[in-house]
Amino acid sequence: MIRKYIFGSPVQTGAVIENIPVSKEHPDFGNIVTMTPFCWKYTMQHDTRIFGLGESVRGMNKRGYLYESWCSDVPRQDEGTKSMYGAHNFFIVKESSLHETFGVFFDTGSRVSFDFGYSDYSEISVSCQDTGVVLYVITADANRGKESTLNNITRQFRKIIGMSYVPPMWGFGYQQSRWGYKTEDDVREIVNKHKQYGLPLEAVCLDIDYMEDYKDFSVDKKKFPDLKAFSQELKNDGVRLVPIIDAGVKLLDGYEVYDEGKENNYFCKKEDGKADYVAGVWPGRSCFPDFLRSDVRAWFGSKYKNLTDLGIEGFWNDMNEPAMFYSDESLAAAFEKLETFKGKNLDINTFFDFSAVSGSTFNRLDDYQRFYNRAETLEGEQKPHRHDTVHNLFGGKMTQAASEGLKSLMPEKRCLLYSRASCIGSHRYGGIWTGDNNARWNHMEQEIKMLPGLNMCGYLYSGADIGGFAEQTTEDLMLRWMSLGIFTPLMRNHAAWDAREKELYRFSKEATDSFRSILKLRYALLPYIYSEYVKAAVNSEMFIRPLCFDFENDRRALEIQDQLFVGEGIMIAPVCRQNENGRMVYFPEPMIQVTWKDGKTKCKNIKAGDSYIEMPLDSVVFFVRKGKIVPLFEPVMNTSQMKNNKYDLVGKGKSYELYEDDGFTSDIHLEGRIRILR
């Protein structure tokens, strides 16, 4: 059951696509304690749990901390990080008895603060910066059968926000990336080395290095003299290029994209409604397309043609929170402030002020209050909104621009598309990667905890930078993280320019052999992962789920935060501590342990309950659920070589339903189903 309530005058976010009648009465759960700002409170029981909130740090159960939906460029993430790149305002309050479990979605583009028992351990408090918010409250269907309240409420929510983006089959292949692949030759070497070492490879991502002076939709001819020919050269080996596109457009007269944007007033404006707003990003001073306008989206989307004409079929959109390194205003203020420190004895009262100044211009709230977006009200009226009141929609609307543009440029193809910033709604247009993480074991563990929330909010196509984007990774962390990464739809090894080189052939011979084996498993599992992904998208289900979503009456399962179900048949329990060669795993039901090593499987029955499972660094261990089978196909070097005819089956189930990808349509062809029988 879904109830919808409207408070104030919200903007049209586009998150919900189903028409739901508006309830006039007071919501059945919690209290609205103030209207300006809008604040909703709910009293928790001793054992109340909270699941959801998409891209956010800490546990699967979010109780006990503060979170904030405010799309942010957060190069340093840790447990204290309140805001990530996405704004995913949906969560489920799970009660165990007497009280009813329910889901809530705060549909707004403005900042939302979630106090999940931080200030008062027994109270949830949600405040929206803007008074305009549409609130959806969802309770489980009485006739849901054996489905848990958690799965049922999630399914209802996912239905009203529309089907999740489905990438082409090749989007499930292994992507290699690094900020720092500067030239055609750099990329060619990466591809050749993968071939040389027998490492499967699907795509190479191009970070900002490929552009000319960091101009969107440009290619630096000195580095990539003929990208079209080069793209074709790689495609002959089944390898694709995936270039980056940034949100900011370099302010430069004579640069086509800038000129068009300026001429047509496509850029975000200052308060006067006339001057384009200017802020610094990679190319220096830049302007920002007002992605909240459909005409601007259509224009920006059409610019991808510059690259699709060269044979490109996949993109990642970045810096679209939008990140702003500085504005003209904040930079001037910084220089002015710096002057005041000259010649002083800098003590505790002044030194820390000084030391913060030159780094103080990043992503400032006051900068976000200096420009405007034209957004639509629920009644369809388009008018300027100060950016901070619609901030969280910006990145998601850029994804929509790209998706719609690509669809119109290549109606016969599904394109690969993922973004850094996002909001609920943009899950229909693309996936997300989880941003600039670090080469830390606890960041790998964080990914495990974050994926379920993302799935709840529609982001099925997701994954973290394997091995960590920033900082220095280690051979063992790469091995463990790859063993997790093969189960995430988006599987990408990406790194910062100053991080350790971590292409899979950069480590010891033993490690390279293990990486090869791990990647082979990814390709062996790919038809399963693809099929389960499509089923989850079509049926509004979660591809990746916490144990308790399927076992909500199992007290132990309710607390497991480092194991996951992947599709209908697989459970994983990654090792995420350095120097541990195994771990305790909780089995809510009997399963088959599958140990994959050197391309071969060993199977073993495991009883329900707790078991210590050996997980050597050179093996991948996963579990097949009771009554399920998982097909393992003959591994290939990339999806271009895939044939769906040779496979082994692991597990004891009777049949498995496979989806075949025709690769040529933007809709899911249900007729692509194939039943595999044991």
Binding site for a copy of itself (CB under 8 A): 49, 58-59, 61, 63-66, 78-80, 117-118, 120-122, 208, 214, 280, 282-285, 325-326, 331, 335, 338, 342, 345-348, 351, 354-359, 361-362, 438-442, 471-472, 474-477, 507-508, 510-511, 556, 559, 561, 577-582, 584, 610, 612
CB 374 within 8 A of CB 293: yes
Kindly give the residue spans of alpha helices, DSSP state H, lying in 304-462.
305-308, 328-339, 348-357, 365-368, 394-409, 441-456
CB nearer to a copy of itself: pick between 236 and 349:
349
Q: What is the arrangement of strands in the sheet containing 570-572, beginning at the earlier edge strand?
A: 544-545, 564-566, 570-572, 620-625, 591-597, 600-606
CB nearer to a copy of itself: pick between 132 and 280:
280
Using CA atoms, how far residue 502 sits from 465, 482, 485, in Å, is 11, 12, 15
CB 216 within 8 A of CB 249: yes
Shortest CB 174 distance to a copy of itself, Å: 22
Residues 6+ away with beta carbon under 8 Å from 352? none
Shortest CB 403 distance to a copy of itself, Å: 27
CB nearer to a copy of itself: pick between 19 and 579:
579
CB nearer to a copy of itself: pick between 385 and 449:
449
- CA-angle at 389, arms to 383 and 392, nearest 5°: 110
CB 224 within 8 A of CB 230: yes
CB 566 within 8 A of CB 536: no
Shortest CB 336 distance to a copy of itself, Å: 11
CB 243 within 8 A of CB 206: yes
Shortest CB 126 distance to a copy of itself, Å: 18
In terms of Cα–Cα distance, which of 489, 495, 453 is closest to 86?
453
CB nearer to a copy of itself: pick between 198 and 284:
284
CB nearer to a copy of itself: pick between 536 and 571:
571
CB nearer to a copy of itself: pick between 421 and 511:
511
Q: Whole-angstrom Cα distance, residue 552 to residue 675?
A: 30
Q: Inter-axis angle of helices 227-235 and 184-196, to 10 degrees?
A: 10
Shortest CB 59 distance to a copy of itself, Å: 5
Q: Whole-angstrom Cα distance, residue 596 to residue 205?
A: 28
Q: Which two tokens stand for residue 143?
A: 């006739």
CB nearer to a copy of itself: pick between 297 and 502:
502
Q: Whole-angstrom Cα distance, residue 149 to residue 141?
A: 8
CB nearer to a copy of itself: pick between 285 and 386:
285
Shortest CB 555 distance to a copy of itself, Å: 9
Shortest CB 536 distance to a copy of itself, Å: 26
Q: Whole-angstrom Cα distance, residue 605 to residue 510?
A: 29
Q: Which two tokens stand for residue 342?
A: 């000259």
Shortest CB 117 distance to a copy of itself, Å: 8
Q: Which two tokens stand for residue 670?
A: 């249900």
Shortest CB 547 distance to a copy of itself, Å: 13
In terms of Cα–Cα distance, which of 90, 48, 169 is closest to 639?
169
Shortest CB 601 distance to a copy of itself, Å: 23
Shortest CB 280 distance to a copy of itself, Å: 6
Q: Whole-angstrom Cα distance, residue 638 to residue 665?
A: 20
Shortest CB 349 distance to a copy of itself, Å: 9
The number of residues in the chain equals 678
Shortest CB 611 distance to a copy of itself, Å: 8
CB nearer to a copy of itself: pick between 97 and 612:
612
CB nearer to a copy of itself: pick between 319 and 375:
319
CB nearer to a copy of itself: pick between 19 and 345:
345
Q: Inter-axis angle of helices 348-357 and 328-339, to 10 degrees?
A: 150
Shortest CB 581 distance to a copy of itself, Å: 6
Q: How far does CA 281 lie from the centroid of its chain?
A: 22
In terms of Cα–Cα distance, which of 169, 109, 19 is closest to 633?
169
Q: Whole-angstrom Cα distance, residue 349 to residue 555?
A: 52
CB 522 within 8 A of CB 200: yes
Q: Whole-angstrom Cα distance, residue 196 to residue 192?
A: 6
Shortest CB 264 distance to a copy of itself, Å: 24
Kindly give the residue spans of alpha helices, DSSP state H, lying in 410-508.
441-456, 475-485
Burial class (CB within 10 angstroms; exposed 0-12, middle 13-18, buried 19+) of 595: middle
Q: Which two tokens stand for residue 69?
A: 């939906």
DSSP 181-241: --SHHHHHHHHHHHHHTT----EEEE-GGGSSTT-TT---TTT-TTHHHHHHHHHTTT-EE
CB nearer to a copy of itself: pick between 273 and 609:
609
Shortest CB 2 distance to a copy of itself, Å: 27
